Amino acid sequence: MGIDLQMVPDSSTIKLALKTLCRENGVERDRRAVAEIAILLTSLWQQGTHDEEELQRLAREKLAEAAAKPNGGSYDARR
């Protein structure tokens, strides 16, 4: 019984994607928004997306979907 290393996020990849997305969305100083984006990126990683550019692309899609909801709801990382 070992650890599945595919499920352990590569912190440098996620950190770079997080920095880029936070800068693009102007939320570098909004702790809640940064945490939500970090959770989204980690979830996408755990679902098998390990490429930084692909992480960013999928996260942008999820964030855009959330922003388009009438109540400005949060994203659903499972979809």
Provide the pLDDT for residue 14: 94
* Cβ within 8 Å of residue 10, ≥6 positions away: 45, 50
Q: What is the pTM of this model?
A: 0.78
Q: What is the pLDDT of residues 43-72, one digit of tens each?
A: 999 999 999 999 999 999 999 998 888 765
* Cβ within 8 Å of residue 27, ≥6 positions away: 33, 34, 37
Cβ–Cβ < 8 Å for 55, 45:
yes
* Cβ within 8 Å of residue 58, ≥6 positions away: 44, 49
